[in-house]
Amino acid sequence: MKHLALASAIALATATSAFAEGETHHLAIHVDEADAQVMNMALNNAQNVRSYYAEQGDTVVIEIVAYGPGLTMFVDGKSPVADRISTMSLESDDITFAACGNTLRNMSKKAGTEVALLSEAHVVPSGVVRLMELQEQGYAYVRP
């Protein structure tokens, strides 16, 4: 009877490991500079991390958070990386783009009109608070 139970446990462990998926990793990338080089580095980091974990059989959930001067990354008509963001957004649902609502409100006030963002960006109340929340949820943090 003991051998039958042991054989059943081994068979169950083997069967469930065959269906086990790779690990899921979480990454928050912070952009606070209106510098195309920094923005491209952030996007390169996201692509490189995604490629690395795909090769390992893992997945990665990435959120790029922009605030302050870095919000230019998501401003429609001003973003030097708009085409890359569009392409990356189409390639993967696991990469999201968070725009600081505080910065957006201040930019709009200064411009005297509502500043339009790229359709891929979603507004969060505060970029800094969003980064804190992501870190509290276990996201790794990178600032290019």
* Any domain includes 47: yes
* Any domain includes 28: yes
CB atoms within 10 A of CB 134: 21
* Any domain includes 6: no
Q: How confident is the model at residue 13 (pLDDT cuts 50, 70, 90)?
A: very low
* Any domain includes 62: yes
Domain containing 136 — which CATH number?
Answer: 3.40.1260.10
Per the structure, the count of domains in the chain is 1
* Any domain includes 135: yes
**CA gyration radius for the chain?**
20
* Any domain includes 11: no
Please, what sign has the CA dihedral across residues 92, 60, 137, 142? negative
68-121 pLDDT per residue, tens: 999 999 999 999 999 999 999 999 999 999 999 999 999 999 999 999 999 999
- The rounded distance, in Å, linking the Cα atoms of 136 and 144 is 20
* Any domain includes 10: no
Average of per-residue pLDDT across 31-45: 98
Crossing angle of helices 82-91/36-56, nearest 10°?
Answer: 20
* Any domain includes 2: no
CB 82 within 8 A of CB 118: yes
Nearest residue to 48 via CA among 32, 34, 29: 29
Range of 74's domain? 22-142
